[in-house]
Structure 1
Amino acid sequence: MDLFRMAPFYPLLIDLGYPSYLSTILGGAKLAAAVVIALPGLPRLKEWAYAGVLINMSGAVASNAATHRYAGTVAPAAFAVLALASWATRPLSRKLSRSGR
């Protein structure tokens, strides 16, 4: 939806004062994260993908809260919790080993 500048995300992004090109950057990053998380293997990239999703959703919560739009914090907070739960409950085969490899 970000890549195609669709509602409800794009109008909210603009209303929060962000530049329109940020929608393309966020959309591309979300698409890349989804592909990496869905693919088998790639444990280090998965860590970065999950981190990116959490940073994105935390930023959305903070942006809405900073502009006193507390109702707008519910959805990104829920997505952040879901991403964190997905990361925490993933199978051992998708986790980095203790040595980081």
Structure 2
Amino acid sequence: MTKRNKIIYWVATGWLALGMVSTGIVQLIKMKEEVDMMTHLGYPIYFLTIIGAWKMLGVAAVLVPKFPLVKEWAYAGFFFAMSGAVFSHLAIGDSAKELFGPILLLILTAVSWYFRPATRRLPTEKSFQLIHEQHES
């Protein structure tokens, strides 16, 4: 991994983690603005607890070394949550201002996932073949 790619990964991942933790906290504590937003979007308030808790667990999964399969799940969860937020705001006709946060977190999710180091990726079939060939020789 080049130094440039490593910097891109850690900057995107740091901002992603900060964004997910900060929004997760306000969702878990059911801050008035979050409750109002969920009501505005038509979701039940208990949804805040679910999303907030999953965000916290997802951040831990992305930041902790190893466990590449859990990282893939976390990235997928972030992608689904943020794309769902974007479409929810679009569906009720919210302004572009309401889309900024979810779109930014969606982009950070994609950038962090794309630039993640090999040690944080799932092994590919090709790498399994290489390992198998090394054990045979």
- Tell me the TM-score normalized by structure 2: 0.69
Higher relative CO (Cα under 8 Å, sequence separation at least 6) belongs to 2
Which protein is bigger by CA-based radius of gyration?
Answer: 2
For structure 2, the 5+ residue unaligned runs are: 1-25, 129-137
- 2:70 matched to which residue of 1? 45
Q: Deviations over 1:25-68 (max 9, x none)?
A: 00111011011111110000000000000000000000000001
Q: Does 1:35 align with 2:63?
A: no
- 1:81 matched to which residue of 2? 107
- 1:10 matched to which residue of 2? 35
- Tell me the TM-score normalized by structure 1: 0.93
- Letter of the structure 2 residue corresponding to residue 94 of structure 1: R
How far apart are the structure 1 equivalents of 2:32 and 2:116?
31
- TM-aligned CA deviation for residue 7 of structure 1: 4.7
How far apart are the structure 1 equivalents of 2:76 and 2:33?
24
For structure 1, the 5+ residue unaligned runs are: none
Q: Does 1:25 align with 2:25?
A: no
Higher helix content, 1 or 2: 2
